Amino acid sequence: MKTKILFIASLGMLSLIQASSSFADNINGKNLYIQRCSMCHGTDIKGTGPLANKSNPPTPDLTTSAFKKRLKDYPGVIVSSVILRPNGDLIPKTLRENGVKISPYAWRVQDFRDLNQYMRGVILKDR
């Protein structure tokens, strides 16, 4: 009986340790998103930020079923979008034209993982 209680208590402690680690990663991802992405994508990731309609084409809603399918088919799509900037100069140009100054950022691999985890959580939560 004692062994069973000890085992259950150990599992509980492990789940707390894991949860706090994931929570910390999400905090970094959320902070990166708010500082570097939300001005166009909005806090809801639906393309509702104050600069959403100032770019051509307008900032997309990343919670649509088409994007969710893309996210499922290509799990690294968020990270590759940040790294590769498929729109060329669109993002920096939109920011410049609207007087938004974002300092350069030295992205770490963990930052991309955290940002991806945060955004996936918000996107997939929105159903």
pLDDT digits (tens, 9 = 90+) for 19-71: 444 555 589 999 999 998 999 999 999 999 999 988 878 888 999 999 888 88
Q: Which residues contact 39 (CB under 8 A, 6 or more apart)?
A: 49, 50, 51, 95, 100
- Among 13-17, 36-40, 81-85, the range scoring the smallest mean pLDDT is 13-17
Report yes or no: 95 and 51 within 8 Å, Cβ to Cβ.
yes
Q: Retrieve residue 10's tokens.
A: 């150990």
* pLDDT above 60 for 83: yes
- Among 12-16, 18-22, 74-78, 110-114, the range scoring the smallest mean pLDDT is 12-16
- Among 2-6, 16-20, 31-35, the range scoring the smallest mean pLDDT is 16-20
Tell me if the pTM is above 0.95.
Answer: no
Q: Retrieve residue 82's tokens.
A: 């940040």
Query: Distance between CA 86 and CA 106 in Å, rounded?
Result: 19
Max mean pLDDT among 42-46, 69-73, 77-81, 94-98 falls in 42-46
Q: Which pLDDT value is given to residue 11?
A: 38
User: Up-side HSE of residue 116: CA atoms within 13 Å toward CB?
Assistant: 19
Report yes or no: 120 and 78 within 8 Å, Cβ to Cβ.
yes
Q: Which residues contact 48 (CB under 8 A, 6 or more apart)?
A: 41, 42, 61
